[in-house]
Amino acid sequence: MYGLGLAKGLMITLKNLTRKPFTIQYPEERVSQHPRFRGEEFGWYEERCTGCASCAKYCPLGIIKIVTSPSGTAKPQGDKYNLEVFDIDIGRCMFCGLCVEACPYDALFMGSGFERGRYARSELVIGIDELRQAEKRPSTWFRPQLENAGYSPHDGPPLSWKEVGREQNRWHQHEKSGARINRADIGEGRSSSAES
């Protein structure tokens, strides 16, 4: 019958008028994020990083750039690397987390941020200084112990590496029990390189 479709359409409109809206007035209002959300700022624990570049090799997009040089600080042990460049181009990142999964030393974590609009793509590259300075509030993604403990990267405190490492790793258990692996000379190596 002519006009029936119009009536049905109006009924749907009326129904939706009384329905609670799904949308919110961002940024004044915010939806709560899941603690496993994989965001942009990355958490990097320099004291754990050996410069092995596994994260860069496993990144399917090739957007992590790592440059190292022998530090000359631990020759009896075969030496260690100075990290000179650690760039992550988050403008092209798809937040798959494979770099975090690939890190054998628990040095890299996903972050939780998502508000990083910029006018130039070049400003979306996170450099080593920003990684150093960023607060360590890792996403609980790939860290079941953090999720089990109810940690929230959005309002929880910054965490030290001892609180975030994978429990099953032997070196983590050793560090938690007090037998900490001494990596203090990483910083020493960096300064000696800068002076030379």
Using CB under 6 A, list all residues that contact ligand SF4.
49-55, 59, 61, 63-64, 66, 88, 93-99, 102-103, 105, 107-108
Instruction: State the minimum distance, in angstroms, from the CB of residue 103 to ligand SF4.
Output: 3
Decide whether 35 or 39 has the Cβ nearer to ligand SF4. 39
CA distances from residue 174 to 97, 142, 144, 160, 162 in whole angstroms, order as listed:
26, 21, 19, 15, 10
Instruction: State the minimum distance, in angstroms, from the CB of residue 112 to ligand SF4.
Output: 13
Instruction: State the minimum distance, in angstroms, from the CB of residue 76 to ligand SF4.
Output: 22
Decide whether 83 or 146 has the Cβ nearer to ligand SF4. 83
Instruction: State the minimum distance, in angstroms, from the CB of residue 115 to ligand SF4.
Output: 17
CA distances from residue 36 to 89, 100, 120, 171, 181 in whole angstroms, order as listed:
21, 13, 28, 25, 29
d(CA 137, CA 172): 18
Decide whether 93 or 146 has the Cβ nearer to ligand SF4. 93
126: tokens are 């996170």
CA distances from residue 153 to 41, 43, 173 in whole angstroms, order as listed:
12, 11, 23
d(CA 132, CA 87): 12
Decide whether 19 or 170 has the Cβ nearer to ligand SF4. 170
